[in-house]
A and B are shown apart, each in its own frame.
Chain A
Amino acid sequence: MVALLVIIVVSAGIGPVPVPVGTTARILWAHLAPGEHVATWSLAQDQIVWQFRLPRTLLAALVGAALAVAGTVLQAVIRNPLADPFVLGASSGASLGAVAALAGGAAVPGLLVSGAAFSGAAVAALLVFVLAQSGGRVESLRLVLAGVALSYLFSAATSWITVTAEHGKLPGLVFFLLGSVSTATWEMLAIPAVVVLACVIHARVRVGPLNAVMTGDETATSLGVDVSRFRIEMLVATSLLTGAVVAVSGGIGFVGMVVPHVCRLVVGADHRRLIPVATLGGAIFLVLVDIVARTAAAPQELPIGIVTAAVGAPFFLWLLRRRPVGGVR
Chain B
Amino acid sequence: MKVEAREVVVSLSGRPVLTGVDLEVRSGEVLGLLGPNGSGKSTLLRTVYRAIRPHGGAVEVGGLDVWSSTTREVARRCAVLTQDHATEVELSVLDLVLLGRIPHRTLIRRSDRDDEALARDCLDRVDAAHLTDRMLPTLSGGERQRVLLARALAQQPKVLLLDEPTNHLDISHQLELLSLVRRLGVTAVIALHDLTLAAAYCDRLALLDLGQLVAVGPPDEVLTPERVRDVYGVACDVLVHPRTGRLLLALDLAITPTKEPTA
Contact = CB atoms under 8 A, between A and B. Distances in A.
Interface stretch (B71-79, B208-216, B218-226): B71-79
A212 interface: yes
B220 to A, nearest CB: 33
Given A208-B102, A218-B46, A223 B88 contact: no
B201 interface: no
Contacts of A269: 89-91
Interface of A: 79, 205, 208-209, 211-212, 214-219, 221-226, 264, 268-270, 326-329
Interface stretch (B1-9, B92-100, B178-186, B240-248): B92-100
Give the top 5 A-B pairs by smallest Cβ distance, nearest first: A224-B75, A224-B103, A326-B90, A222-B80, A224-B72
B28 interface: no
B252 interface: no
* Range class of the B interface residue count: 35 or more
Contacts, number: 99
Contacts of A214: 86, 89, 91
Contact of B91 (A211, A223, A225): A211
B70 interface: yes
Given A219-B80, A268-B92, 18 more contacts: A79-B86, A208-B102, A214-B86, A216-B82, A218-B82, A219-B82, A219-B84, A222-B75, A222-B82, A222-B161, A224-B71, A224-B76, A225-B72, A226-B72, A268-B91, A268-B135, A269-B90, A327-B89
B168 interface: no
A47 to B, nearest CB: 46
Most buried by B among A212, A219, A222: A222
> Does more than half of chain B's interface fall in helix, strand or loop, or is it mixed?
mixed
Contacts of B92: 268, 270
30 contacts: A205-B107, A208-B99, A208-B102, A208-B111, A211-B99, A214-B86, A215-B85, A215-B96, A218-B51, A219-B84, A219-B85, A221-B49, A221-B50, A221-B51, A222-B78, A223-B99, A223-B102, A223-B103, A223-B155, A225-B72, A225-B102, A268-B92, A269-B91, A270-B91, A270-B95, A326-B88, A326-B135, A326-B137, A329-B86, A329-B88
B154 to A, nearest CB: 10
A227 to B, nearest CB: 8
Most buried by A among B79, B90, B100, B101: B90
Nearest to B87: A329
Contacts of B74: 224
Contacts of B137: 326
A157 to B, nearest CB: 35
Nearest to A135: B53
